[in-house]
């Protein structure tokens, strides 16, 4: 999928990358960081709605043309990629639902938010890494922020109730106020703040609906309120703000004559299946009974032109999804607009996500503003795996091993001296950077980042 230029870039970046476990050099205070996610905000939702506050944010900071989420384009997996910098097969949160092929337990999204072993499976997200390096962090409704990792909890954490109303604008403002107090009164350094819209409205009414457009206006008002509260809290010059999302949304072909329905496939029977995870948008996983894998695979591989069924080891590597022990022997996805129905049809959403992350409808937004970011800069699209490295640079912490590249998003930033509030003190005696624990020239890293940004346009 990638052109030779990016392979060269990756190779160079690997050669130049600082060694793991390099000591942290920090001096003076640092900027704070607020990562805000509006679930399911498709990359072009601002193009058919008046969004004065998002427009102002772009003028005052950096806007990506769009951001490519990880595959599967599902809420919890993609949010965990943002805070770990890892593709989904490498961080292990492979689905919104906790499931066990042995116990057959399947838990819905909200219950899964509290299942520690689902999240704490080897990767350490940025909250914990930052805390280990002396910072204080918070998570407000952000997926993955409510459990402990290797025994460590996020400093301040809020989890929504199971029947939470995700669209209450009054509550949104109260949540923003709470986060501002975390920064000003409790001196937190990093907070991740999650809103469940416009995802819910996009599912219910469809991405082209009047209701979705109204919800985008509510999101825009909230961005305006957020920036107003940042200014009121005297944080404009000390806090970097990133507004992004997990995936896009597309219209479901509910009345198509060729729905993907397992119960109508002639050579397939659920009697051959030990465990199934179907009826979840365009994604599915199957564990056939002992000795029946080939039979099930042969029954499904050409069962429907919109359905793509693979053995785990043959799933396209470019998705960076299937190489994880939690993935079942057979997995599948369907084409844009088609969801996968299992034993009976139970999916009635007008909008859906989970599709191929190369589909434009799955692309999402990235905006950033603050003392470390350039002003009025629009950058080319990039993959969401790179946001983690950017956040570590902004916070001046040493990242965990991840799939992003340290220089990929550096062109968004002002000069190195702008990264820390006390300017020149960021420079170490040896001339290295406080943010890159390495003596590699920043120019080189900047060039690498530019190359990556350019090479991913294609």
Query: Which residues are catalytically annotated?
Result: 75
Stretch of 23-31, 35-43, 308-316, 376-384 contacting Zn ion, by CB under 5 A: 35-43
DSSP single-letter state for residue 253? -
Where are any strands of DSSP class E within 134-232? 137-140, 156-158, 190-195
CB of 159 to Zn ion, least distance (A): 16
DSSP single-letter state for residue 23? P
* DSSP β-bridge partners for residue 311: 330
CB under 8 Å to 401, separation ≥6 — which residues? 20
CB under 8 Å to 294, separation ≥6 — which residues? none
3-state secondary structure of 140: strand
CB of 194 to Zn ion, least distance (A): 9
CB of 207 to Zn ion, least distance (A): 13
Question: By CB under 5 A, what part of segment 219-258 binds Zn ion?
Answer: 246
- Residue with smaller CB distance to Zn ion, 277 or 379: 277
Q: Is 75 in the site for Zn ion (CB under 5 A)?
A: yes
CB under 8 Å to 264, separation ≥6 — which residues? none
CB of 96 to Zn ion, least distance (A): 8
CB of 115 to Zn ion, least distance (A): 18
3-state secondary structure of 148: coil
CB of 43 to Zn ion, least distance (A): 14
- Residue with smaller CB distance to Zn ion, 59 or 164: 164
- Residue with smaller CB distance to Zn ion, 75 or 433: 75
Which residue, 143, 73, 54, 66, is CA-closest to 364? 66
Q: Is 400 in the site for Zn ion (CB under 5 A)?
A: no
CB of 74 to Zn ion, least distance (A): 7
Helix (H), strand (E), coil (C) string for 319-330: HCCCCCCCCCCE
Stretch of 75-83, 154-162, 337-345, 362-370 contacting Zn ion, by CB under 5 A: 75-83
- HSE-CB at 129 with a 13 A cutoff on CA atoms is 23
Q: Is 357 in the site for Zn ion (CB under 5 A)?
A: no
Spatial distance between the Cα atoms of 77 and 88, rounded to a whole number of angstroms: 6
Question: Residue 325 burial by CB count (10 A; 0-12/13-18/19+): exposed, middle or buried?
Answer: exposed
CB under 8 Å to 296, separation ≥6 — which residues? 268, 272, 273, 286, 288, 330
- Residue with smaller CB distance to Zn ion, 197 or 199: 199
Nearest to Zn ion by Cβ — which residue? Answer: 75
Question: By CB under 5 A, what part of segment 358-377 binds Zn ion?
Answer: none
Stretch of 70-78, 96-104, 260-268, 417-425 contacting Zn ion, by CB under 5 A: 70-78
- Residue with smaller CB distance to Zn ion, 40 or 406: 40
Q: Is 39 in the site for Zn ion (CB under 5 A)?
A: yes
Stretch of 34-42, 84-92, 105-113, 377-385 contacting Zn ion, by CB under 5 A: 34-42
- Residue with smaller CB distance to Zn ion, 36 or 394: 36
- Residue with smaller CB distance to Zn ion, 39 or 89: 39
CB of 249 to Zn ion, least distance (A): 9
Which residue, 71, 136, 47, is CA-closest to 362? 71
Count of residues touching Zn ion (by CB under 5 A): 5
CB under 8 Å to 298, separation ≥6 — which residues? 267
Question: By CB under 5 A, what part of segment 272-291 binds Zn ion?
Answer: none
Question: By CB under 5 A, what part of segment 147-206 binds Zn ion?
Answer: 199
CB of 199 to Zn ion, least distance (A): 5
Helix (H), strand (E), coil (C) string for 350-408: CEECCCCCCCHHHCECEEEECCCECCCEEECCEEHHHHHHHHHHHHCCCCCCCCCCCCC
DSSP single-letter state for residue 205? H
Question: Residue 352 burial by CB count (10 A; 0-12/13-18/19+): exposed, middle or buried?
Answer: buried
Q: Is 120 in the site for Zn ion (CB under 5 A)?
A: no
Residues that bind Zn ion (CB under 5 A): 39-40, 75, 199, 246
């Amino acid at each position: 999928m990638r052109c030779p230029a990016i392979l060269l870039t990756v190779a160079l970046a690997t050669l130049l990358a600082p060694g793991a476990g390099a000591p942290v050099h920090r001096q003076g205070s640092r900027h704070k960081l607020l990562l805000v996610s509006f679930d399911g905000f498709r990359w072009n939702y601002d193009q058919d709605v008046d969004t004065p506050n998002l427009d102002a944010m772009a003028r005052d900071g950096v806007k990506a043309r769009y951001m490519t989420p990880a595959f599967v384009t599902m809420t919890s997996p993609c949010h965990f990629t943002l805070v770990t910098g890892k593709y989904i097969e490498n961080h292990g949160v492979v689905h919104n639902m906790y499931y066990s092929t042995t116990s057959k337990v399947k838990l819905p999204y909200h219950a899964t938010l509290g299942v520690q072993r689902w999240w704490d499976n080897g990767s350490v997200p940025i909250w914990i890494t930052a805390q280990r390096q002396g910072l204080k962090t918070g998570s407000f409704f952000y997926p993955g922020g409510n459990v402990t990792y290797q025994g460590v909890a996020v400093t301040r954490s809020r989890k929504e109730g199971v029947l939470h109303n995700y669209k209450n604008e009054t509550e949104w403002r109260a949540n923003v106020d709470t986060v501002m107090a975390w920064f000003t009164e409790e001196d937190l350094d990093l907070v991740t703040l999650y809103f469940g819209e416009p995802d819910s409205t996009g599912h219910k009414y469809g991405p082209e609906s009047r209701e979705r457009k109204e919800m985008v206006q509510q999101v825009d008002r909230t961005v305006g309120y957020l920036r107003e509260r940042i200014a009121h809290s005297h944080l404009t010059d000390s806090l970097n703000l990133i507004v992004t999302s997990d995936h896009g949304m597309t219209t479901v072909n509910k009345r198509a004559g060729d729905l993907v329905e397992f119960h109508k496939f002639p050579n397939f029977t659920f009697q051959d299946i030990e465990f199934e995870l179907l009826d979840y948008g365009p994604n599915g996983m199957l564990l056939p009974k002992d000795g029946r894998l080939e039979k099930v695979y042969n029954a499904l591989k050409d069962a429907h032109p919109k359905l793509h069924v693979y053995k785990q080891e043959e799933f396209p590597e470019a998705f960076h999804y299937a190489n994880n022990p939690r993935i079942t022997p057979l997995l599948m996805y369907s084409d844009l607009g088609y969801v996968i129905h299992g034993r009976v049809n139970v999916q009635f959403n007008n909008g859906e996500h989970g599709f191929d992350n190369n589909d434009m409808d799955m692309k999402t937004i990235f905006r950033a503003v603050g003392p470390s970011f350039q002003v009025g800069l629009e950058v080319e699209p990039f993959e969401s795996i790179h946001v983690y490295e950017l956040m570590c640079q902004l916070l001046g912490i040493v990242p965990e091993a991840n799939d992003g590249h340290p220089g990929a998003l550096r062109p968004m930033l002002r000069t190195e001296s702008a990264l820390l509030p006390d300017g020149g003190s960021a420079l170490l005696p040896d001339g290295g950077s406080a943010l890159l624990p390495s003596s590699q020239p920043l120019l080189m890293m900047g060039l690498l980042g530019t190359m990556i940004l350019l090479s991913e346009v294609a």
